[in-house]
Amino acid sequence: MIVLVARYYVQHGQGDVVAAAMERMAAAVKHHEPGCTHYQVCRSTEDERRFLIYEVYEDEAALAAHRAAPHFQQIVEGEVAPLLEKREREFFSLVAG
């Protein structure tokens, strides 16, 4: 299992646009990516411009398929990334759970 935690810091006034795009992204992952066992998008209750995305993949192949997926390229890279001030990603391996 591969766990990816991403943090998005959105430009002022773009939080709702990013939230809507990430809702579409989560739905696309659920329907088209069997190797992704969890894809959760969270928005900070303290700063509406901050998002946390929690992703779990069965293996490296599933993660690679995610990055190559047309919906990832269109939504995350094409729509969301241009609206970000900063994007951070950190990978983990599952210890227990």
Tens digits of pLDDT across the chain (97 residues)? 999 999 999 999 999 999 999 999 999 999 999 999 999 999 999 999 999 999 999 999 999 999 999 999 999 999 999 999 999 999 999 888 7
Q: Residue ranges of the domains in the chain? A: 2-93
Which of 61, 79, 68 is closest to 22 using CA atoms?
A: 79
What is residue 97's predicted lDDT score, i.e. its pLDDT? 72
pLDDT of residue 30: 97
Q: What angle do CA 29, 40, 32 make, to 5 degrees?
A: 10
- What's domain 2-93's architecture? 2-Layer Sandwich (3.30)
Q: What was the pLDDT predicted at 78?
A: 97
